[in-house]
Amino acid sequence: MRAKPRIAGPGENAVMITRVADGQWHALEDDLVVGRGHARHRPDGRLYVSIDAWHDEPFDRLAEAMSADLPAPLHTVVDEADVELTARLRRAGFTIRRREWEYVVPTDPRATGLDEVLPPPGVTIVPAGRADEALLRAVDRAIRDEVEATVGWHSMPAEVVHGPDGDTVVDPSTYTVAAAPDRYLGLIRVVIPIRPRIGLLAVRAGERRRGIARALLAHALDTLHRAGFTEAWTEVQESNHAASALFESVGARRAGSNLELVR
């Protein structure tokens, strides 16, 4: 545990920065917590940080202390509409790396136009919770390796799930897959903490342009619709025009945007 005071002016209380646990910092002023910082690694190895403070002084001190304690590069994601937070991060040495569009996706097949969409011949859709775990992990690893070998996994939306030892399939029950007789060809992950979120939709490189992604999306949205959800959410990298075109073709609308910044 370390405390880093600044030199206080007349009538001021020093802001003390304390590392209270692994990946957690507090900013203290007059023994009151006036800011918090957190850091954790994502599945792809990137280190993400967040800083929550009402005022500039504790924010700047937290950013300074965390940057000194942690290995570079540091990543963070903010709502682009939060101009004040973005300005604070840029003042702390972060630069904008990319933008993600946030989409609201209707689930009603009558709205999406997916009511008659079927997978291509020889491909079946295995509902969430029924996938073979070994085959699921195999297709997840294969897709990640293909992405890493081309545009790089860093180009994919910033993920929030993580598991021990780099496990990227934390909860197999959240995945719906497209299956051939001997292997899986694609997958879609839907998480429902409060509102349904499509965290990943991907198809193996050699199986694209066959309608597999659209069939996976149709199944996932229809399942949500029958469960009583009218909308789902997802994020798409600004440069991923194919993904944007797919979601917009089913009636998805942009509801905002997130910025990933890096120091």
Q: Where are the domains of the chain?
A: 3-99, 102-258
Question: Does domain 3-99 sit in CATH 3.40.640.10?
Answer: no
Q: How confident is the model at residue 81, as a pLDDT?
A: 95
Q: Does the pLDDT at position 2 exceed 50?
A: no
Q: How confident is the model at residue 85, as a pLDDT?
A: 96
Q: Region 192-211: what's the mean pLDDT?
A: 92
* Residue range 102-258, CATH number: 3.40.630.30
Q: How confident is the model at residue 92, as a pLDDT?
A: 96
> In this predicted model, which residue has the larger pLDDT, 12 or 177?
177
Q: How confident is the model at residue 1, as a pLDDT?
A: 37
> In this predicted model, which residue has the larger pLDDT, 7 or 193?
193
What is the residue whose two structure tokens read 């897709």? 143
Q: Region 222-231: what's the mean pLDDT?
A: 97
* Degrees to nearest 5, angle at CA 128 with 241 and 226: 85
Q: What is the number of alpha carbons within 13 Å of residue 263 lying toward its C-beta?
A: 21
Q: Rounded to an integer, what distance in angstroms lies between the CA atom of residue 213 and that of residue 249? A: 13
Q: Does the pLDDT at position 4 exceed 50?
A: no
Q: Rounded to an integer, what distance in angstroms lies between the CA atom of residue 232 and that of residue 191? A: 10
Q: Does the pLDDT at position 6 exceed 80?
A: no
Q: Region 94-98: what's the mean pLDDT?
A: 94
Which of 18-32, 111-125, 166-180, 248-262 comes out lowest in average pLDDT?
Answer: 166-180
